[in-house]
Structure 1
Amino acid sequence: MTKRVPKVKPTRGRSISAVDPSIGRQDAYCPIFSFEYMVRGYSVDDLQKNDRAELAVQLFKLSQVTWGDLKKVGRHALGFEKIARDAIRAPIPAAITPDVTLIAFRFSGLKSMVGFRSERIFHIVWIDHDRTVYKH
């Protein structure tokens, strides 16, 4: 007996392309976190054990709130603040082009995680455990 493979509708072609319904509505979703571009010297490896735990707790809390709601709360609560590129004192990865907006979330008191948003993903680039990543 031969099994038939079901036909799949094309998502892209000369006259057709699928539209991602979430484009333009990313603020309705909760953030996803990435460590892909993390800089050595400012990574999870450089944190004390208790700060690692507090970072994990903060990431969990942030993952439960939509981007839209995070924009509305204060930077010392769950919210974030924009960081000027020229304020960065740490090495900047090539993935961060001049058009990228940098933002920082707080954890463990005044310590922060600095990175950039790409749709609903927050790429954590630096963990500012000693407050030396940018001018405060």
Structure 2
Amino acid sequence: MSKKNRIKKPSGKNKGRQIPAQATPPLESSTDNENPSFRFTYTDENNWLLSDWKSSEINNLIQGLKKIEKYTWAQIKTHGSKKPGSLVGTGYKLISSHPSLPKNIPEDIKLSEMRIDEKKRIFGFRVDGVYYIVWFDRDHSVCPE
């Protein structure tokens, strides 16, 4: 092998230098900067069913989910208000007092509610960036305020 084709040995000049911080952003353990996706793995087959909704209500739900998908989890957590004069947003909140969950739901989940509109809600839980929908509440009857 000729000298031209040999790989040069590293010189000691770069010893002790670090890669710039901008080149290696810190790893985030949270998925709050991600947009949500929705899954139906744990949807209850006995209570608060999507099949009970009218087609116009389902259309509103789809539009609401599309709107929610545009936000990050960090934005969703702080979005929405029921104060007079405020815009109604997703209204994401954790629920501590709720009806019994289906048996296939893991015991350690934290149930939450997301507002679709003034009356309609979805209830479920978040694992990383995924929101697992458990109930479709068309008339605010799962956890009335």
Find the partner of 1:33 among 38, 44, 53: 38
Note the C-alpha offset of 1:134: 2.2
Corresponding residue number in structure 2 for 1:125: 134
Q: How many residues align?
A: 113
1:43 corresponds to which residue?
49
Q: State whether residues 88 and 135 of structure 1, in contact with CA within 8 Å, keep that contact through their aligned partners in structure 2.
A: no
Q: Distance in 2 between matches of 1:23 and 1:102?
A: 24
1:54 to 43, 48, 60: 60
In structure 2, distance between residues paired with 1:33 and 1:126 = 13
Q: Is the 8 A contact 1:26 1:120 kept in 2?
A: yes
Q: What is the aligned-residue RMSD (CA, Å)? A: 2.1
TM-score by length of 1: 0.73
Deviations 1:72-104 (A, max 9, x none): 2125412301111xx223x41234344211111
Offset from partner CA, 1:50-90 (integer Å, 9 cap, x none):
11001000100111110011112125412301111xx223x
Unaligned runs of 5+ in 1: 1-20
Query: CA 1:114–1:69 in structure 2 vs 1: closer, same or farther (change >3 Å)?
Result: same
Distance 2:58 2:41 in 1: 17
Match status 1:82 vs 2:94 = yes
Secondary structure class of the residue paired with 1:113: strand
Shift of 1:29: 0.4
1:126 partner SS: strand
Task: Indicate the structure with greater strand content.
Answer: 1
Give the TM-score taking structure 2 as reference length: 0.69
- 1:20-65 CA distance string (max 9 Å, x none): x976130110000011111123122111111100100010011111
* Partner Cα separation in structure 1 for residue 105 and residue 41 of structure 2: 12
